[in-house]
């Protein structure tokens, strides 16, 4: 795959001589956290600041994921990059890619994904910390923004696959709340229809249990309206209940 460089960011990276694979691979930057070494390779994330704009650089070496399309494996950032472009084509709000590149040399596969930092956005999990202290109007707008985003995702025929509050970001714009998604590596099509939708929804609603019954009901009602999913609210609540019971039995 040819290196990708977003047109809107190319001039900025060029001014700092960071518009190619080797420059981004060799740049001396502070790591965000410890390297991930679970897949017989390594993956590490760095923060980059350029003229007041923030980016995250993910570098990987032999850090593979396998699928039917790639039985021998491919870098996890390659799958994430494809999904970022897929979300963009479908107008689903998500992180934006600035650069992607891959190199194979002497038995090593290196890959880089650069994304724009979501400066000015806040993860939903941070809002949940003091959720009871927020006024009802703000709570309702945040719940509605989350429901609209997940509804649009599923209406587009995709499931996130890892729908946790830390992967959904929000910001307030002129009394309106916007939401977007990150960590798109596990996104895939809704091959199993409503069953895949329920998997996403059950994971998400279990993690936002602090919303209690009224908030979760409001989320699900708005979600069903946006996603245009057939079936009544009670039917979907029943499906979610069965999924939750199944997962509890497994544990």
Banded model confidence at residue 197, pLDDT cuts 50, 70, 90 = very high
Same domain assignment for residues 156 and 195: yes
Residue 100 has a pLDDT of 98
Domain total of the chain: 2
Average confidence (pLDDT) over 97-102:
98
Same domain assignment for residues 110 and 154: no
Residue 1 has a pLDDT of 62
Residue 97 has a pLDDT of 98
Q: What is the pLDDT of residues 48-62, one digit of tens each?
A: 999 999 999 999 999
Residue 63 has pLDDT above 70, yes or no: yes
Same domain assignment for residues 133 and 151: yes
Same domain assignment for residues 151 and 197: yes
Residue 46 has a pLDDT of 98
Residue 84 has pLDDT above 70, yes or no: yes
Banded model confidence at residue 214, pLDDT cuts 50, 70, 90 = very high
End position of a domain, from candidates 92, 116, 140 = 116
Q: What is the mean pLDDT of the chain?
A: 95
Same domain assignment for residues 59 and 83: yes
Same domain assignment for residues 142 and 217: yes
The two tokens of residue 134 are 């927020």
> Phi, psi (5° rounding) for residue 56?
-115, 130
The C-alpha atoms of residue 47 and residue 57 are separated, in whole angstroms, by 6
Residue 21 has pLDDT above 70, yes or no: yes
Average confidence (pLDDT) over 11-31:
97
Instruction: Please count the residues of the chain.
Output: 251
**How far is residue 69 from each of residues 64, 66, 74, 79, 192, measured CA to CA in Å?**
13, 8, 10, 11, 18
Residue 31 has a pLDDT of 95
Same domain assignment for residues 9 and 37: yes
Cβ partners under 8 Å of residue 155, min gap 6: 226, 227, 228
Residue 231 has pLDDT above 70, yes or no: yes
End position of a domain, from candidates 95, 116, 137 = 116
Residue 71 has a pLDDT of 67
Same domain assignment for residues 150 and 54: no
Same domain assignment for residues 71 and 26: yes
Q: What is the pLDDT of residues 199-212, one digit of tens each?
A: 999 999 999 999 99
CATH number at residue 185: 1.10.510.10
Phi-psi bin for 247: left (phi > 0), alpha (psi -120 to 50), beta? alpha
CATH number at residue 44: 3.30.200
Same domain assignment for residues 139 and 242: yes
Q: Which residues form the domain of 150?
A: 122-250
Percent of the chain at pLDDT > 90 equals 88
Nearest to 154 by CA among 236, 65, 69, 98: 236
Same domain assignment for residues 100 and 154: no
Average confidence (pLDDT) over 186-208:
97
Same domain assignment for residues 182 and 160: yes
End position of a domain, from candidates 98, 116, 134 = 116
Residue 73 has a pLDDT of 76
Residue 65 has a pLDDT of 85
* H or E element at residue 11: helix 7-15
């Amino acid at each position: 795959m040819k290196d990708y460089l977003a047109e809107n960011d190319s001039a900025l990276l060029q001014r700092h001589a960071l518009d190619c694979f080797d420059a981004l691979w060799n740049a001396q930057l502070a790591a965000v956290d410890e390297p991930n070494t679970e897949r017989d390779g390594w993956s590490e994330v760095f923060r980059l600041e350029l003229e007041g704009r923030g980016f995250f650089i993910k570098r990987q070496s032999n850090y593979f994921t396998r699928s039917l399309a790639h039985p021998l494996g491919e870098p996890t950032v390659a799958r994430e990059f494809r999904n970022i472009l897929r979300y963009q084509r479908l107008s689903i709000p998500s992180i934006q890619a600035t650069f992607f590149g891959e190199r194979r040399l002497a038995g090593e596969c290196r890959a880089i994904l650069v994304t724009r930092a979501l400066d000015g956005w806040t993860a939903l999990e941070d809002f949940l910390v003091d959720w009871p202290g927020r006024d009802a109007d703000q709570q309702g707008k945040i719940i509605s923004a989350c429901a609209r985003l997940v509804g649009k995702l599923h209406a587009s025929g995709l499931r996130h696959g890892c729908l946790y509050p830390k992967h959904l970001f929000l910001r307030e714009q002129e009394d309106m709340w916007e939401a977007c998604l990150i960590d798109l590596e596990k996104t895939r099509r809704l091959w199993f229809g409503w069953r895949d939708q329920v998997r996403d929804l059950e994971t998400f609603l279990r993690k936002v249990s602090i919303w209690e019954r009224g908030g979760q009901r409001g989320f699900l009602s708005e979600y069903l309206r946006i996603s245009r999913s057939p079936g009544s609210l009670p039917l979907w609540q029943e499906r979610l209940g069965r999924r939750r019971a199944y997962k509890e039995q497994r544990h």
